[in-house]
Structure 1
Amino acid sequence: MSTDQDLLTRDLLTDPYAVYDRLRDTAPVHRVVGPDGSPAWLVTRYGDVREALANPLLSLDKRHALPGGYKGFALPPALDANLLNMDPPDHTRIRRLVGRAFTPRRVEQLRAPVRRTADRLLDALGPQGSADLIAAYAAPLPVTVICDLLGVPDEHRRDFRTWTDVLVAPDPARPQAAKEAVVAMLGFFTQLLADKRKEPADDLLSDLIAARDEGDRLSEDELMSLAFLILFAGYENTVQLIGTAVLALLQHPDQLAALRADPSQLPAAIEEFARYDGPALLAIRRFPVEDVTIGDVTVPAGETVLLSLAAANRDPRRFPDADRFDLGRDTAGHLALGHGIHYCVGAPLARLETRIALTALLERLPNLQLDGDPGDLRWRPSLRARGLLTLPVTY
């Protein structure tokens, strides 16, 4: 065990992979301070992280946390009864229901609409020759797709992006902003569900309401929380993956040239994008239901365990020369989208959106280049989410 009381409030915001390299070499488990100042245990090595992700003794349910421990971002009950806070059997029941929206067949039906959205956004770039690719493309694409899937009206989509951005990376100078965003989102979902009950449509949210109202399979809080999670995670993870994938290609022109020469490599390339610089630095915090041994450390029941997906995916014990970006790498077993029963339910959609977003860029912007010094890029000030605030490009 190693102790670094300041770790999660200092170095990880500026250079996460260098920090994780050091931690993996030092010890498998580290005693750290969580984002809210409470103690936690940080796990960084691939084998330990993978095993812990599937360990039923590590609960996502906050009721297993010790008083005063780190529990993650606080949400009202109506938004907190979601898959990220649940264990079986409730987790199994709700995941089975929402999983129907992300089957390979249903996701494939979205291919044409996603490509139309990508083309429309690229059309809007026009001939000006430069843009912020996050604001103009990587962010609006997944927002449009997930809002279409759930049936969110167009006039609310800009507000939703603003609220989500505030929750992903709260501004310390504006502590009330996150609370205001939560209140606004709660009001938004309350009204949206009421509207869908009055006028059901051919969308996922109407289907979820019917499942709750007719079969009584979802409580009201579960229904509201599920809608929130699908919108929040469906936007956040995909925009970040698209942004970091484009950046990785622009910083590795040999790999970009290889992908242009053979676009059939793109599905495999997406797995390397996710492994190399994925959208989540940390998995959702967990709480041992009894004392559990991770690596060479026994973690007492109820304490907080943080599993570093980013550190695991750069572990040379599992991926040789792990800090090298290589589209030809065998990425089998990467943990960017989780592992076990909590594997990302929306992974098929995230992969489809990323593939289409990159395909459209490669086809339509052949001279795409980074505009400026990579060292000047701004990243989300988040210890959990890995994403660019902006990505200035020329084309």
Structure 2
Amino acid sequence: MSESSVMPLHMRRAQFDPAPDLAAAREESGVTRVKTAFGADAWLVSRYAYVREVLGDAERFPIARQTIARLPGAPEMTPEQLAKINAGNLLGQDPPEHTRLRRMLTPEFTLRRMRRMEPRVKAIIDEHLDAMEAAGPPADLVPSFALPIPSLVICELLGVPYEDRAGFQERTSRMLDVTVPAEERVALQFQGRAYMEDLVGRIQADPGEDLLGMLVREHGDDLTKDELIGIGSLLLFAGHETTSNMLSLGTLALLRHPEQLDLLRKEPERIEAAVEELLRWLSIVHSGTTKVATAETRLGDAVIAPGDLVICSLPTANRDSGAVPDADRFDLTRGAPGHLAFGHGIHHCLGAPLARMELKMAFPALFQRFPGLRVADGAEPQFRSFSVVYGLSSLPVAW
């Protein structure tokens, strides 16, 4: 059985690019009938303008109230259990709950707050580069650099003991793998919640200066324990899984486009534009949350009826030449204004300032330390094809 015959259309990739059949869906109509990973019918929206319209209208396209716990093969859950799991999860909430939670969290992700973190992030990056240099080549960039740096940063930000990282990394990696049986993914979700419940209990008893401690001190009367657990779980997952894959996949993209890497070396002031172009061109999150239409809506030639599920393809939207000229070309000089890699609308990624800060510091540091960095001879990067967050599971390098 071929990979394309079992993988949902919106997750299909050809290394850095959307797979040809996914790109064709955008060119043909931009709105296509598909089956989800779990057999449900849905509309796949793949053009830039259509994706912005869907993501930008939470009234016409609210979040579909579907969780992994309701998927085929997963155990039945009571409404109380489902409410407990969704509490505090910004990706599972629409206004007014989403507005209330986001208002409490936004001050922790301002540009000013990120700048205060820069010295510590620089130290974390340097420590891992020192360890790579001391061990010598070859090295696997994923476990030695791309994964531990964002993990340590988000652990420190949240107040999660870094020694616990191996456990949560293994859990989240398997939870994101669509080939893992739904029952096991639900069990992993509950394990992650149990871990965070214990941590939140300790932080409530003795709140520190970290983000979860701040929420307890400043908003302890406004947030339930379940909401604190949900917030911590989401930020822990999102804070390491996404940035880690951008670091590894972005490094490979630069190595495979040496003229772009040379330009960045000669003109390091281009780093912010380079990060935006990498975010646009790679678009490691296949789609935002699944939406459900509340009113009849026409997108192009398609008429979406109330109750229909809608999936937005971020990689094809960001490669739409109707929005970005010559969109399939990787060109760090353009800066990629208006890309959708962090989503759009009310669910635009809360942690985008943190991710941008880490990326704009980590890429230059890596290539300055190892100017001869290359994919190790005879080695092949391993792409994470069946993961909800796209990236690399291995990138052997030498220098």
Same-fold call, TM cutoff 0.5: yes
State the secondary structure of the residue aligned to 1:185.
Answer: helix
* Equivalence for 2:8: 9
Note closer, same or farther for the CA distance 1:169–1:366 as it changes in structure 2 (3 Å cut). same
* Equivalence for 1:386: 390
Amino acid in structure 2 at the alignment position of 1:229: L
Counterpart CA distance in 2 for 1:163 and 1:76 is 20
Counterpart CA distance in 1 for 2:237 and 2:62 is 18
Give the conservation status (yes or no) of the 8 Å contact 1:279–1:386. yes
Give the number of equivalent residue pairs. 384
Note closer, same or farther for the CA distance 1:20–1:373 as it changes in structure 2 (3 Å cut). farther
The Cα offsets for residues 104-147 of structure 1, whole Å up to 9 and x where unpaired, read as 11111110111100111111112421111111111010000001
Alignment of 1:114-153 (within 5 A): 114-125=121-132, 126-153=134-161
Give the conservation status (yes or no) of the 8 Å contact 1:283–1:384. no
Amino acid in structure 2 at the alignment position of 1:367: G
Alignment of 1:177-256 (within 5 A): 177-213=184-220, 216-256=221-261
Note closer, same or farther for the CA distance 1:100–1:275 as it changes in structure 2 (3 Å cut). same
Note closer, same or farther for the CA distance 1:10–1:274 as it changes in structure 2 (3 Å cut). closer
Note closer, same or farther for the CA distance 1:64–1:253 as it changes in structure 2 (3 Å cut). closer
State the secondary structure of the residue aligned to 2:311.
Answer: strand
Note closer, same or farther for the CA distance 1:263–1:10 as it changes in structure 2 (3 Å cut). same
Give the conservation status (yes or no) of the 8 Å contact 1:170–1:177. no
Counterpart CA distance in 1 for 2:377 and 2:325 is 31
Q: Does 1:359 find its partner at 2:364?
A: yes
Report how far residue 373 of structure 1 moved: 6.7
Note closer, same or farther for the CA distance 1:281–1:50 as it changes in structure 2 (3 Å cut). same
Report how far residue 57 of structure 1 moved: 3.0
Counterpart CA distance in 2 for 1:160 and 1:228 is 10
Q: Does 1:80 find its partner at 2:82?
A: no
Question: Which of 165, 169, 181 in structure 1 is aligned with 2:173?
Answer: 165
State the secondary structure of the residue aligned to 1:110.
Answer: helix
Q: Which 5+ residue runs of structure 1 have no aligned equivalent?
A: none
Give the conservation status (yes or no) of the 8 Å contact 1:60–1:84. no
Amino acid in structure 2 at the alignment position of 1:57: E
Amino acid in structure 2 at the alignment position of 1:332: P
Amino acid in structure 2 at the alignment position of 1:145: V
Give the conservation status (yes or no) of the 8 Å contact 1:147–1:231. yes
State the secondary structure of the residue aligned to 1:386.
Answer: coil
Note closer, same or farther for the CA distance 1:20–1:10 as it changes in structure 2 (3 Å cut). closer
Q: Taking structure 2 as the reference length, what is the TM-score of the superposition? A: 0.90
Q: Which 5+ residue runs of structure 2 have no aligned equivalent?
A: none
Q: How well do the aligned residues superpose, as a CA RMSD in angstroms?
A: 2.5
State the secondary structure of the residue aligned to 1:57.
Answer: coil
Amino acid in structure 2 at the alignment position of 1:377: P
Question: Which of 333, 336, 347 in structure 1 is aligned with 2:352?
Answer: 347
Counterpart CA distance in 2 for 1:171 and 1:234 is 23
Note closer, same or farther for the CA distance 1:26–1:230 as it changes in structure 2 (3 Å cut). same
Percent same amino acid among aligned pairs?
A: 36
Question: Which of 292, 305, 318 in structure 2 is aligned with 1:300?
Answer: 305
State the secondary structure of the residue aligned to 1:305.
Answer: strand
Report how far residue 207 of structure 1 moved: 1.3
